[in-house]
Amino acid sequence: MILGIALRGRLQDVVAGDLDTGISCLPHHLDERAAGPGGALYAEEFFTEARGDVTAYVPVGERAPLRTSTMIAGGRFAVALHPGALTNFDTTYAALGSYVAEHSRTRPGPIREIYLVSPPESIDEASLRTEVCWPIQEGSIR
Protein backbone atom coordinates (compact mmCIF):
# COMPACT_ATOMS: atom_id res chain seq x y z
CA MET A 1 0.00 0.00 0.00
CA ILE A 2 1.08 3.56 -0.70
CA LEU A 3 -0.04 6.46 1.42
CA GLY A 4 -0.54 9.33 -0.98
CA ILE A 5 -2.33 12.54 -1.68
CA ALA A 6 -4.49 12.19 -4.76
CA LEU A 7 -6.57 14.02 -7.34
CA ARG A 8 -9.52 11.99 -8.55
CA GLY A 9 -11.78 12.59 -11.47
CA ARG A 10 -13.62 11.11 -14.38
CA LEU A 11 -11.76 12.10 -17.48
CA GLN A 12 -12.54 11.97 -21.16
CA ASP A 13 -10.01 12.48 -23.90
CA VAL A 14 -7.23 13.21 -21.45
CA VAL A 15 -4.16 14.91 -22.83
CA ALA A 16 -0.89 13.87 -21.19
CA GLY A 17 -0.16 17.51 -20.35
CA ASP A 18 -3.37 17.76 -18.32
CA LEU A 19 -2.26 14.89 -16.13
CA ASP A 20 1.28 16.26 -15.85
CA THR A 21 -0.18 19.54 -14.62
CA GLY A 22 -2.33 17.75 -12.05
CA ILE A 23 0.55 15.66 -10.72
CA SER A 24 2.94 18.61 -10.60
CA CYS A 25 0.37 20.57 -8.52
CA LEU A 26 -0.05 17.81 -5.93
CA PRO A 27 3.27 18.38 -4.08
CA HIS A 28 2.19 21.95 -3.31
CA HIS A 29 -0.46 20.43 -1.02
CA LEU A 30 2.15 18.54 1.02
CA ASP A 31 3.70 19.61 4.30
CA GLU A 32 6.75 17.50 3.45
CA ARG A 33 8.61 16.23 0.40
CA ALA A 34 7.03 13.54 -1.75
CA ALA A 35 8.15 10.05 -0.71
CA GLY A 36 8.61 8.90 -4.31
CA PRO A 37 7.62 9.55 -7.91
CA GLY A 38 4.07 10.48 -8.77
CA GLY A 39 1.76 8.24 -10.68
CA ALA A 40 -1.75 7.67 -11.90
CA LEU A 41 -4.32 4.89 -11.76
CA TYR A 42 -6.47 4.33 -14.86
CA ALA A 43 -9.77 2.42 -14.73
CA GLU A 44 -10.34 -0.16 -17.47
CA GLU A 45 -13.04 1.93 -19.16
CA PHE A 46 -10.50 4.70 -19.70
CA PHE A 47 -8.89 2.38 -22.27
CA THR A 48 -12.00 0.65 -23.61
CA GLU A 49 -14.29 3.69 -23.86
CA ALA A 50 -11.79 6.60 -23.99
CA ARG A 51 -13.26 7.93 -20.73
CA GLY A 52 -13.06 6.74 -17.18
CA ASP A 53 -11.84 7.27 -13.67
CA VAL A 54 -8.27 8.47 -13.24
CA THR A 55 -6.52 9.03 -9.92
CA ALA A 56 -3.28 11.02 -10.02
CA TYR A 57 -1.21 10.62 -6.84
CA VAL A 58 2.04 11.51 -5.14
CA PRO A 59 3.29 9.19 -2.37
CA VAL A 60 3.78 10.81 1.03
CA GLY A 61 5.49 9.81 4.25
CA GLU A 62 3.72 8.25 7.19
CA ARG A 63 3.35 11.64 8.89
CA ALA A 64 0.83 12.86 6.31
CA PRO A 65 -2.51 13.88 7.81
CA LEU A 66 -5.00 11.05 7.30
CA ARG A 67 -7.87 13.39 6.42
CA THR A 68 -6.08 14.51 3.25
CA SER A 69 -4.29 11.29 2.35
CA THR A 70 -5.44 8.24 0.42
CA MET A 71 -4.29 4.63 0.52
CA ILE A 72 -3.28 3.35 -2.92
CA ALA A 73 -3.60 -0.45 -2.98
CA GLY A 74 -0.55 -2.54 -3.75
CA GLY A 75 -0.42 -5.95 -5.33
CA ARG A 76 1.40 -7.89 -7.98
CA PHE A 77 2.02 -6.22 -11.34
CA ALA A 78 3.63 -7.00 -14.66
CA VAL A 79 5.78 -3.93 -15.35
CA ALA A 80 7.22 -2.40 -18.52
CA LEU A 81 9.47 0.65 -18.66
CA HIS A 82 8.59 3.19 -21.34
CA PRO A 83 11.58 5.37 -22.26
CA GLY A 84 11.11 8.75 -23.86
CA ALA A 85 8.13 10.81 -24.98
CA LEU A 86 4.57 9.59 -24.63
CA THR A 87 3.89 9.92 -28.35
CA ASN A 88 4.46 6.19 -28.89
CA PHE A 89 3.17 5.04 -25.51
CA ASP A 90 0.72 2.68 -27.21
CA THR A 91 3.59 0.38 -28.28
CA THR A 92 4.64 -0.15 -24.64
CA TYR A 93 1.04 -0.81 -23.62
CA ALA A 94 0.59 -3.27 -26.52
CA ALA A 95 3.77 -5.18 -25.68
CA LEU A 96 2.92 -5.39 -21.98
CA GLY A 97 -0.70 -6.35 -22.69
CA SER A 98 0.44 -9.14 -25.04
CA TYR A 99 2.88 -10.42 -22.42
CA VAL A 100 0.24 -10.42 -19.71
CA ALA A 101 -2.28 -12.19 -21.97
CA GLU A 102 0.25 -14.91 -22.80
CA HIS A 103 1.99 -15.39 -19.44
CA SER A 104 -0.37 -14.54 -16.60
CA ARG A 105 -3.91 -13.86 -15.46
CA THR A 106 -5.03 -10.30 -14.94
CA ARG A 107 -6.77 -9.24 -11.77
CA PRO A 108 -9.36 -6.55 -11.36
CA GLY A 109 -8.03 -3.09 -10.69
CA PRO A 110 -6.67 -0.07 -12.44
CA ILE A 111 -3.54 0.01 -14.57
CA ARG A 112 -0.89 2.11 -12.86
CA GLU A 113 1.63 4.46 -14.43
CA ILE A 114 4.57 5.64 -12.34
CA TYR A 115 6.32 8.72 -13.68
CA LEU A 116 9.97 8.09 -12.77
CA VAL A 117 11.15 11.08 -14.84
CA SER A 118 8.34 13.35 -16.02
CA PRO A 119 8.02 16.81 -17.56
CA PRO A 120 8.24 18.62 -14.23
CA GLU A 121 11.73 17.08 -13.76
CA SER A 122 13.00 17.28 -17.34
CA ILE A 123 12.19 19.11 -20.54
CA ASP A 124 14.26 16.61 -22.55
CA GLU A 125 11.69 14.13 -23.90
CA ALA A 126 14.38 11.50 -24.46
CA SER A 127 15.05 11.38 -20.71
CA LEU A 128 11.43 10.74 -19.68
CA ARG A 129 10.79 7.36 -17.99
CA THR A 130 7.41 5.85 -17.14
CA GLU A 131 6.63 2.46 -15.63
CA VAL A 132 3.40 0.87 -16.84
CA CYS A 133 2.11 -1.56 -14.20
CA TRP A 134 -0.59 -4.08 -15.20
CA PRO A 135 -2.32 -5.85 -12.28
CA ILE A 136 -1.94 -9.63 -12.34
CA GLN A 137 -3.03 -12.41 -10.00
CA GLU A 138 -0.58 -13.75 -7.43
CA GLY A 139 1.32 -16.80 -8.70
CA SER A 140 -0.08 -16.47 -12.22
CA ILE A 141 3.16 -16.02 -14.21
CA ARG A 142 3.64 -19.02 -16.46
On whether the CB atoms of residues 90 and 74 are closer than 8 A, the answer is: no
Give the helix ranges, DSSP H, for the chain: 16-25, 44-48, 89-103
On whether the CB atoms of residues 56 and 38 are closer than 8 A, the answer is: yes
pLDDT score for 80: 96
Which of the residues in the chain have pLDDT under 50? Answer: 13-16
Contacts of 19 (CB under 8 A, 6+ apart): 40, 54, 56
* pTM to 2 decimal places: 0.79
86 three-state secondary structure:
helix
Q: What's at 86, amino acid-wise?
A: L
